[in-house]
Chain A
Amino acid sequence: MSNHLSGPVEDVTGQSGYPAGHPPRMGFFTDTSVCIGCKACEVACKEWNLVPESGMDLLGSSYDNTGALGADTWRHVAFVEQVRPRESAPVDLGMPAVGRPGGQEAADADRDVTWLMASDVCKHCTHAACLDVCPTGSLFRTEFGTVVVQEDICNGCGYCVPACPYGVIDIRAGDGRAWKCTLCYDRLRGGLEPACAKACPTDSIQFGPWDELRGRAQQRVDHLRASGVPRARLYGADPDDGVGGDGAFFLLLDEPEVYGLPPDPVVTTRDLPAMWRAAGVAAATAAAVMVAAFLGGRR
């Protein structure tokens, strides 16, 4: 497989130069249909990776006071409140009824307030723009097929920041270097699963070999669709998408943009040959203009 800039890749780790016998590609499957919004992943990530606090703000966006992924937020739980037509009658679980807190009912009886919760993370793209554009080699592909920043190499040029099609990586204020999820590279090397997956009480965050996870995700989405959740869909699991598939992919219950995810991301370096071609033509034109100006121009 020689899809170096875009397209599906059989063995992304091998393509990066690791010899045969390297570990399988590892990833996350985040099944948002069972996310309960507890934010244990956010906390576990910060604790394990010693990520600095990212401020205590009330953002006015449901229970989300984290906001977005960034240099100091490597897992982010999104909360989406929607009022939609009632799809099915609520099931009586035979639990003691306490009633819902006020203000969470829809105004009319045939509509429901629904909550979508989703834990977002770096996608560890097959074609990672952050890694492609990094001029120092600080961003690299690990033996697990994940994408990690070496903080002792990063010189803070910031190129990875606007290159990422998901808005994941960012420069840490006061530090000057780029930071993002490492998929707990240190834990993986020690044979442990990443902190967020370990802490997730509902197995919404599943960690494992990429191939296996994709099979599991397909089963889950088929099951949900068959049992009356037509809005269930996989996001980032398709190796034919614009980034060659994500190492960390998702099961979503609505359009990606509702969760703040781009609907059809493409790795920018896919078009790099076209960019250099255009630059070459422009440079040649400029050179021709100058030569003509001197040879043909009046004094």
Chain B
Amino acid sequence: MVPEAKFGSYYGRPVLKPPTWKTPDVPVYMFLGGMAGAAASMGVLAELTGRPALARVGRFAAAGGAAGGTVFLIHDLGRPARFLNMLRTFKPTSPLSVGSWILAGFGTLTGAAAATEVTGWLTGAGRLARYGAAVLGPAMMTYTAVLFADTAVPAWHEAHRQLPFTFAGSALGSGAGVGLIATPPSQAGPARVMAVAGTAMELVAERRMETRLGLAGEPYQRGRAGRLMRAGRALTAAGALAAAVSGRSRAVSVAAGLGLLAGSLVTRWGVFEAGRQSATDPRYTVVPQRERHAAR
């Protein structure tokens, strides 16, 4: 723990404005987007390696996650009717602009792929759409980390090197989770590997967020954010462990999948809350800036 430092402030009031983004909207949007991204890539890889059940699950989870995530994103806007204003322009300096275009492309492709599958029409175009979505999958898994990091919020901004790995790991786990729940264990082998590797990636990145960021890493360990992060870690780790030992057991696979999905959602929530905490307490803004200033 970093020792409490004395610092000046204006009646203890925050220097920054905390994010006005709502819960559960934003954590759920990030969770669904990440899950959908992993599911899309997983589905196509399953298709190419002869695992039709896993491929199907991946396709529908990708379409559902993208559609659901978009609904939550729109619902979070102060003026939802103006959502399309995001697509009037493309701004490379705004991760939300870049992200909206990624989401729009991914959502269209996964939606088209699911539609061709359900109707049986235009199956060639459907395959192309699936492949396109699979390529965008890893972008879906990580762009939301840049969205958080590109703010003045200390716990998010200072974590800009680690957050993409936390989110990518979390997304791998949740995509694998859907596969574990909805696929016979005989086809879910790769999902089990994804679950274990994703969880390892996430846990290493989270550990770095706590140890390498100085004061900015503290909110991840304190208060509500700390509790959410610990709960997310416990659920994810339990899920990955269960996935590793599930073998041929469908029941254990389903339990593992549920743990991974819950862990992924709770972790996003914890990251969101840590940012809010770090923006609300002027200590996280003033103390590191004062040190940086003094060092110059």
Contacts and interface: CB of A to CB of B under 8 A. Distances in A.
Contacts of A294: 45-46, 48-49, 190
Contacts of A176: 77-79
A5 interface: yes
Chain A's interface size range is 35 or more
Contacts of B88: 136-137
Contact of B152 (A155, A156, A162, A272): A162
B149 interface: yes
Interface in B147-192: 147, 149-153, 156-157, 160-165, 167-169, 171-172, 186-187, 189-192
Given A138-B85, A171-B78, A297 B152 contact: no
B24 interface: no
Contacts of A291: 45
B15 A279 contact: no
B138 A135 contact: no
Contact of B286 (A177, A257, A283): A257
A276 B93 contact: no
Contacts of B89: 135-137
Contacts of B141: 282-283, 286
Nearest to B82: A155
Contacts of A284: 138
Contacts of B150: 133, 163, 268-269, 271-272, 275
Contacts of B164: 275, 278-279, 281-283
A272 B160 CA distance: 9
B146 A275 contact: yes
B21 A158 contact: yes
Interface stretch (B59-67, B94-102, B108-116, B224-232): B94-102
A164 interface: yes
A299 interface: yes
A61 B147 CA distance: 35
A155 B16 contact: no
A268 B38 contact: no
Interface in B80-96: 80, 82-83, 85-86, 88-89, 91, 93-96
A46 B161 CA distance: 42
A153 interface: yes
Interface string B5-32: 0011111011111111100000000000
Interface of A: 5, 59, 61, 67-68, 70, 78, 80, 129, 132-138, 153-159, 161-171, 175-178, 255, 257-265, 268-269, 271-272, 274-276, 278-287, 289-299
10 contacts: A61-B10, A133-B96, A158-B76, A262-B289, A269-B150, A272-B93, A282-B142, A282-B168, A284-B138, A287-B41
Given A135-B97, A258-B10, A290-B42, 5 more contacts: A134-B94, A136-B85, A286-B168, A289-B201, A290-B38
Interface of B: 7-11, 13-21, 38, 41-42, 45-46, 48-49, 51, 76-80, 82-83, 85-86, 88-89, 91, 93-97, 100, 137-139, 141-143, 145-147, 149-153, 156-157, 160-165, 167-169, 171-172, 186-187, 189-194, 197-198, 201, 275, 279, 282, 285-286, 289-290, 292-293
